[in-house]
Amino acid sequence: MIYLNGKFMPIEEAFIPVLDRGFIFGDGVYEVIPVYSRKPFRLAEHLIRLQHSLDGIRLKNPCSNDEWRNILEQIIANNDGEDQYLYLHITRGVAKRDHAFPANVSPTVFIMSNPLPQPPEELLKTGASAITANDNRWIRCDVKAISLLPNVLLRQLAVDRHALETILIRNQFLTEGAASNIFIVKDKVLLAPPKSNLMLPGITYDVVLELAAANQIPHEIREISETETRMADEILLTSSTKEIMPITLLDNHPVGDGKPGELFRQLHALYQEYKATHMRGQVV
């Protein structure tokens, strides 16, 4: 069961006109929200980020937060699985092809749910491999835009080389992954690149930093150079669907001793504990 422009329907019955500006220009934004035990995780934060993305493309939010909550509740109830991930997509709507914004057009709103895959146990034990590439995206990476062509091409580089993710470097500094945020660990200190227009402010990134702060894990938010990334003791990848994963091979060189490290183990356990608290309804 999906949601399209005010109606719930099976996905096979959902169609959009070819002149939708999402199709023509990639003119829209999206969110991905994990659901555990049928409860959306960090929903308030996802809705704040959605508003930031909409502001970034000058598109009015078509729903209030209460309306979003209500629609998402119905989608969750009408899809299988205790754990799901919601994909919410808003475009500037359907209009005659012209780059400039159309007048008096309603946005297209599409929401679907898919089963949430568990991060593979094997990769958590051995760690995953990543490659690096030059971050050649635009400079509003803080907007979760549906126009993802650079991310698609960068992520495919990783797939071509049998790696999990492409880690992006801009002007000799680490930004993020093609579809994730990246942390490094050096001398037992967790290092996170600062939020800016050059990276997506990850919801999982925030959770990890909150967990570090609450559990006296030494951490610092500051620019991380490419060299520091290559010399890291640990590299951690975060995203809503992958949660927190260790990167143990970078461009075919072992990261630290080539095994998932102590801070990964600690933060992964804390993340699972936090999720369990959320599932018991003790965190909204």
Q: Which residues are catalytically annotated? A: 144
Q: Which of 204, 236, 237, 270 forms a contact with ligand PMP (CB under 6 A)?
A: 204
Indicate whether 248 belongs to the interface with ligand PMP (CB under 6 A): no
Name the minimum Å distance from CB 202 to ligand PMP.
3
Report the relative pairing of strands 28-36 and 181-186 from DSSP bridges: unpaired
Name the minimum Å distance from CB 168 to ligand PMP.
8
Name the minimum Å distance from CB 208 to ligand PMP.
9
Q: Considering only CA atoms, which of 242, 257, 258, 120 is closest in space to residue 182?
A: 242
Q: Which of 145, 200, 232, 249 forms a contact with ligand PMP (CB under 6 A)?
A: 200
Indicate whether 129 belongs to the interface with ligand PMP (CB under 6 A): no
Q: Which of 176, 232, 256, 275 forms a contact with ligand PMP (CB under 6 A)?
A: 176
Both tokens of 29, joined, read: 């934004």
Name the minimum Å distance from CB 265 to ligand PMP.
20
3-state secondary structure the chain: CEEECCEEECHHHCCCCCCEHHHHHCCEEEEEEEEECCEECCHHHHHHHHHHHHHHCCCCCCCCHHHHHHHHHHHHHCCCCCCEEEEEEEECCECCCCCCCCCCCCCEEEEEEEECCCCCHHHHHHCEEEEEEECCCCCCCCCCECCCHHHHHHHHHHHHCCCCEEEEEECCEEEEECCEEEEEEECCEEEECCCCCCCCCCHHHHHHHHHHHHCCCCEEECCCEHHHHHCCCEEEEEECCCEEEEEEEECCEECCCCCCCHHHHHHHHHHHHHHHHHHCCCCC
Indicate whether 181 belongs to the interface with ligand PMP (CB under 6 A): yes
Indicate whether 84 belongs to the interface with ligand PMP (CB under 6 A): no
Indicate whether 113 belongs to the interface with ligand PMP (CB under 6 A): no
Indicate the residue among 21 and 137 with the shorter CB distance to ligand PMP: 137
Indicate the residue among 102 and 206 with the shorter CB distance to ligand PMP: 206
Q: Which of 22, 202, 256, 261 forms a contact with ligand PMP (CB under 6 A)?
A: 202
Q: Which of 72, 109, 167, 179 forms a contact with ligand PMP (CB under 6 A)?
A: 179
Pick the piece of the chain touching ligand PMP (CB under 6 A) from 5-13, 111-119, 121-129, 175-183: 175-183
Edge-to-edge order in the sheet of strand 28-36: 7-9, 2-4, 108-115, 84-91, 28-36, 39-40
Indicate the residue among 124 and 203 with the shorter CB distance to ligand PMP: 203
Indicate whether 28 belongs to the interface with ligand PMP (CB under 6 A): no
Name the minimum Å distance from CB 150 to ligand PMP.
10
Pick the piece of the chain touching ligand PMP (CB under 6 A) from 93-101, 178-186, 229-237, 251-259: 178-186
Name the minimum Å distance from CB 179 to ligand PMP.
4
Torsion of CA 79, 156, 18, 90, to 10 degrees: 50
Binding site residues, ligand PMP, CB under 6 A: 32, 151, 176, 179-181, 200, 202-205, 238-240
